[in-house]
Structure 1
Amino acid sequence: MKKFTYLLLALLGGCSLSPEQDSSCYCPATPPSVVAPSTNNQQSINQLLAYVAKLAKDRWGEDEFVEAGKHRYVKYLDGYNTRAHIDFDAGKIYVSTISQTQPEQKLQKAIVQTLLMPADPAHAELFSDKEAILRGKPFLLGQVLDHEGKPIEWEWRANRYSNYLIENALRTKPIKRGQAHYVEITMVNDHLEQREYQYAGLIRDAAKRYDIPEDLIYSIIKTESSFNPYAVSHAGAYGLMQVIPKTAGADVFNLVKKKPGIPTKEYLFDPANNIDTGAAYFYILKNRYLREVKHPTSMHFSMISAYNGGTGGVLSAFDSDRKRAMVKLNNSTPRQVYDTLTTKHPKGEARRYLQKVLYFQKDFNLGNI
């Protein structure tokens, strides 16, 4: 690992790399234009997001609608009148309600739900307005401290803190469809590191299982989701490492797990399965799709780029013909491979992706030297 670290720093030492990448008793019936998602395990993430979006927009309006994403947890409650929104990049939590009937009570309940949200997304009811099942260690434990500076693990403390917030930090603002009541909670300064710690064991085991550098897995998760196990995207990806069931997930099931089908969203929302699947896909990239890449650092750059934009995208940055592309890649220095993938890759997102992952990995490497 140290040899790669020094080589990476030497290669990129002259580069400037930086990361780029919210009627009160409403009880929603399924709108005529929206079909409620089935319980089919292969239900499209876009269908699920569209279903939630339709119901939430009916209540909040287009301007105030907030959607779950890769670095953002959003959970609607109370007939979509109340919302919890966690911005993991900014380290902020916003709990809001547009209910005009007992808004403080609705808000208090939602704050408790958010502070005690389960670490396992399987119990979170992310794609409905149902309350999460509060069991086990809270996901936000240690990432938020109450007004006494104490971590919030138990319901009595969450209730007390929510009451404190409503008494001392409640705000209101007018919106097109009425008035919103909300509170804003600032997470602790090291909230990202707190989330990293939760998955250290899983990352270590997956890295060892597939012979993939730990810091690579850390940097991919930081880039993809900011260590948000609830992460979703319209690309159809789930969880910490943003695995797409029909592509990377199917490859892992078929080539590594030797099992038919593709992973379900429930499978990929489980942090252990998600990290295992993401690491296993790197194993496939290294030992199958990119096995002809000769230089280990060029391999490293190519694997990262392929994780985001596919092996075909990596090769097309060098030549339209795959065989000629591999020859050109192998005839290039690692520095030239990096330059090609960050300037000539057909997808702008993939060009930036390699930069972001290496920026984060350099930080993780420096911490390990």
Structure 2
Amino acid sequence: MKNILTMTGFCLTIPLLTSCSNHSAVNYATNVVVRELGGPIADVYSTVQTAQSIQKDVIAFEALVRILTTEARVNWGDEKSASNKEYVKYTNNYRTRVFVNFEQGKVHVETLDQQDLKHAIIVTLLTPYNPDEVDLFSDKAVPLGEEPMLYGQVLDQQGKPIRWEWRASQFADYLIDNHLITRSSAKGTIYAIDLDLVGDHLIKRQYQYASIVRQMSQRYQIKESLIYAIMRTESSFNPYAVSHANAYGLMQIIPSTAGRDVFKLVKRKSGQPSRNYLFNPSNNIDAGTAYLHILETRYLKQVRDPLVRHYAIISAYNGGAGNVLKTFHSNRTRAMEILNQMEPEEAYWALTRKHPRQESRNYLKKVTKAQKDFYKGDV
């Protein structure tokens, strides 16, 4: 398997050495770059640095994911990991794990180590939103101290929000005394607790980002209701959202596609955003809204009817502008002509019935419905 890296005008073919150590793979990548470009290292130093950085990041991340899935399978008999609407974190040598389902409003903490259950509950209640410190792809411990990610979304037995460790500790004792769940597994007894987020947890999360959404809406001339609707559909406002397609954050940006487009066409810089960059709410909402702006002003700007273009943009955010046009004809020019002859309800029908991807058909339905929930009459 090969990865083609295009940078500073050169096209370099560098094998992904998934069986080698990061150090040897990076050294190999360096040698390939020098051999391809020729000349002394000083002449190609910046290009080599870029190749090293990309190669090292890819290999290291692949290794982390492989380790996590292997450890999950060994300890738990499955390969559960974080997704776009569910926060999943392993700790304690992968013998303890936490699930926060932001769509369903459910929290589940389970461990194979009974002595770790109380600590795991406390950490879950006090986990901060800090992508630089909370590593979803390892069993690294979670540092506490900042305002918790779930603050106001979980209430204790007295109906109080949980900010400090003393209250989290008391609530953990209450949960263990009154709601402990045990079950047998091939690896031993599993000790667990379940709890619900507050009824309006979705609303509490979504308006944490109100000032950022307003700023990006004005910057890129995209309706606030559309930004909110896409965030709800993509992640249920899960700040740690990640998908198997390598999309990250609230608006589920794929670094190598939408992320790269935003960097190139809007930010006027090379490369693509990192995972940590996209886990930052401000950066993520900026990138997602900027990509909507690109779709509207570049890829789908020839769609004349504003509402038809609106439907096309939503569909393209999920499945790409190319697939929007394929819905109508294999020839892009002819597809645009057909699209421009349609009434909005005809275009909507086609995109929700004839689009090449079933996911994109459903996506347009979900986002248009969600958008109406935010600002009545905005669409």
* Among 341, 353, 357, the residue aligned to 2:351: 341
Report the Cα distance in structure 1 between the residues aligned to 2:245 and 2:353, rounded to whole angstroms: 23
Specify the alignment match of 2:327 in structure 1: 317
Contact 1:36/1:51 (<8 A) preserved:
no
Work out which of the two has the higher radius of gyration on C-alpha atoms and give 1 or 2: 2
SS across alignment from 1:123 = coil
- Pair 1:202-2:216 in alignment: no
Query: Once the 2 structures are TM-superposed, how far is the Cα of residue 198 of structure 1 from its aligned partner?
Result: 1.2
SS across alignment from 2:190 = strand
Letter in 1 for 2:180: L
SS across alignment from 1:299 = helix
Specify the alignment match of 1:141 in structure 2: 151
What percent identity do the matched residue pairs reach? 49
Aligned residue runs from structure 1 range 1-369, under 5 A: 40-42=56-58, 48-62=64-78, 65-99=79-113, 103=114, 105-366=115-376
Contact 2:372/2:378 (<8 A) preserved:
no
- CA 1:350–1:47 in structure 2 vs 1: closer, same or farther (change >3 Å)? farther
Higher relative contact order (CA 8 A, sep 6+): 1
Query: Once the 2 structures are TM-superposed, how far is the Cα of residue 43 of structure 1 from its aligned partner?
Result: 5.7
Query: Once the 2 structures are TM-superposed, how far is the Cα of residue 132 of structure 1 from its aligned partner?
Result: 1.4
Report the Cα distance in structure 2 between the residues aligned to 1:235 and 1:358, rounded to whole angstroms: 23
Letter in 2 for 1:252: V
Contact 1:74/1:83 (<8 A) preserved:
yes
SS across alignment from 1:172 = strand
Query: Once the 2 structures are TM-superposed, how far is the Cα of residue 222 of structure 1 from its aligned partner?
Result: 0.4
- CA 1:45–1:311 in structure 2 vs 1: closer, same or farther (change >3 Å)? farther
Report the Cα distance in structure 2 between the residues aligned to 1:313 and 1:329, rounded to whole angstroms: 13
Unpaired segments ≥5 residues, structure 1: 1-32
Letter in 2 for 1:114: T
Letter in 2 for 1:180: I
Q: After superposition, give the CA deviation of every residue in 1:76-121 in whole Å (9 maximum; x if it has no partner).
A: 010000011111121110000012xxx1x30111111111111232
Moved more, 212-221 or 133-142: 133-142
Query: Once the 2 structures are TM-superposed, how far is the Cα of residue 41 of structure 1 from its aligned partner?
Result: 4.3
Instruction: Provide the TM-score with structure 2 as the length reference.
Output: 0.83
Query: Once the 2 structures are TM-superposed, how far is the Cα of residue 36 of structure 1 from its aligned partner?
Result: 8.5
Query: Once the 2 structures are TM-superposed, how far is the Cα of residue 122 of structure 1 from its aligned partner?
Result: 2.5
Specify the alignment match of 1:3 in structure 2: none
SS across alignment from 1:93 = strand
Instruction: Provide the TM-score with structure 1 as the length reference.
Output: 0.86
Query: Once the 2 structures are TM-superposed, how far is the Cα of residue 130 of structure 1 from its aligned partner?
Result: 1.1
- CA 1:275–1:35 in structure 2 vs 1: closer, same or farther (change >3 Å)? farther
Report the Cα distance in structure 1 between the residues aligned to 2:245 and 2:173, rounded to whole angstroms: 39
Q: After superposition, give the CA deviation of every residue in 1:189-231 in whole Å (9 maximum; x if it has no partner).
A: 0011111121111111111111100000101000000000111
Count how many residue pairs are aligned between Structure 1 and Structure 2.
331
Contact 1:298/1:333 (<8 A) preserved:
yes
- CA 1:45–1:89 in structure 2 vs 1: closer, same or farther (change >3 Å)? farther
Unpaired segments ≥5 residues, structure 2: 1-17, 24-52
Report the Cα distance in structure 1 between the residues aligned to 2:145 and 2:208, rounded to whole angstroms: 16
Letter in 1 for 2:271: G
Query: Once the 2 structures are TM-superposed, how far is the Cα of residue 44 of structure 1 from its aligned partner?
Result: 7.8
- CA 1:315–1:278 in structure 2 vs 1: closer, same or farther (change >3 Å)? same
Query: Once the 2 structures are TM-superposed, how far is the Cα of residue 250 of structure 1 from its aligned partner?
Result: 0.2
Query: Once the 2 structures are TM-superposed, how far is the Cα of residue 46 of structure 1 from its aligned partner?
Result: 5.9
Contact 2:84/2:235 (<8 A) preserved:
yes
Letter in 2 for 1:81: R
Moved more, 330-339 or 168-177: 168-177
Report the Cα distance in structure 2 between the residues aligned to 1:217 and 1:354, rounded to whole angstroms: 14
Contact 1:41/1:265 (<8 A) preserved:
no
Moved more, 275-284 or 117-126: 117-126
Moved more, 85-94 or 244-253: 85-94
SS across alignment from 2:107 = strand
Letter in 1 for 2:104: A
Query: Once the 2 structures are TM-superposed, how far is the Cα of residue 54 of structure 1 from its aligned partner?
Result: 1.1
